[in-house]
A = this chain, B = another copy of it.
Amino acid sequence: MTINRRLFLGTTASITAATSFGVHTSMAADAKSTVNFALVGLGSLSTKQLAPALQQTKHAKLVGIVTGTPSKEKVWADKYGIKQENIYNYDNFDKLSENESIDVVYIVLPNGMHKEFTVRGAKAGKHVLCEKPMANTSDECREMIAACKENDRKLAIGYRCQFEPHNQHCIELARSEKFGSLKAIEAGFGFKIGDPNQWRLDGKLAGGGAMMDVGVYALQACRYISGEEPVSISAQETKTDPVKFAEVDESITWTMKMPSGVICYCSTSYAFNGINRYNAYADKGWFGLEPAYSYKGITGKTSKGPIELESIDQFAAEMDAFAKCILEDRDSTVPGEEGLRDMICVEAIYESIRTGRHIELPRA
Number of copies: 2
The 8 A CB mask of A273-306 against B (1 = contact, 0 = none) is 1110001011101100000000000000001000
A234 at the interface (CB under 8 A from B): yes
CB-based contact A271/B238 at 8 Å: no
Q: Given A183-B269, A253-B255, A269-B281, is A263 in contact with B238 using a C-beta cutoff of 8 Å?
A: yes
Return chain B residues, CB-CB under 8 Å to A255: 234-236, 253-255, 265
A136 to chain B, nearest CB (A): 24
Judged by DSSP, the binding face of A is strand
The CA-CA distance from A255 to B352 in the complex, in Å, is 12
CB-based contact B240/A261 at 8 Å: yes
CB-based contact B265/A265 at 8 Å: yes
Interface size class of A (residues with CB under 8 A): 35 or more
A272 at the interface (CB under 8 A from B): yes
Q: Find the B residue at minimum CB distance from A266.
A: B265
Q: Which of A186, A253, A254, A285 has the most CB of B within 10 A?
A: A253
CB-based contact A283/B272 at 8 Å: yes
Q: Given A240-B261, A272-B283, A283-B271, is A186 in contact with B186 using a C-beta cutoff of 8 Å?
A: yes
The 8 A CB mask of A179-205 against B (1 = contact, 0 = none) is 001011010100010000000000000
CB-based contact B358/A234 at 8 Å: yes
Return chain B residues, CB-CB under 8 Å to A257: 236, 238
The CA-CA distance from A254 to B257 in the complex, in Å, is 12
Q: Which of A188, A257, A265 has the most CB of B within 10 A?
A: A265
Partner of A274, one of B252, B264, B271, B286: B286
Return chain B residues, CB-CB under 8 Å to A269: 183-184, 281
Q: Which of A188, A236, A267 has the most CB of B within 10 A?
A: A236
A251 at the interface (CB under 8 A from B): yes
Please name 15 further chain A to chain B contacts, defined as beta carbons within 8 Å, in addition to the given A236-B257, A263-B267, sorted by A numbering: A181-B240, A183-B238, A184-B251, A186-B186, A186-B188, A188-B265, A234-B234, A234-B235, A234-B236, A234-B352, A234-B356, A236-B255, A236-B256, A251-B263, A253-B264
Which residues of chain A have a CB within 8 Å of any CB of chain B?
181, 183-184, 186, 188, 192, 232, 234-240, 251-257, 260-267, 269, 271-275, 279, 281-283, 285-286, 303, 352, 356-358, 360
9 A-B pairs with least C-beta separation: A274-B286, A253-B265, A356-B358, A240-B261, A238-B263, A253-B255, A272-B281, A234-B234, A183-B272
Can you report 24 A-B residue pairs in the complex whose CB atoms are below 8 A from each other? Answer: A183-B269, A184-B271, A184-B275, A186-B275, A188-B265, A232-B356, A234-B255, A237-B263, A238-B262, A251-B263, A253-B265, A254-B265, A265-B266, A265-B267, A269-B281, A272-B283, A273-B285, A273-B303, A274-B281, A274-B285, A274-B303, A275-B279, A275-B281, A356-B360
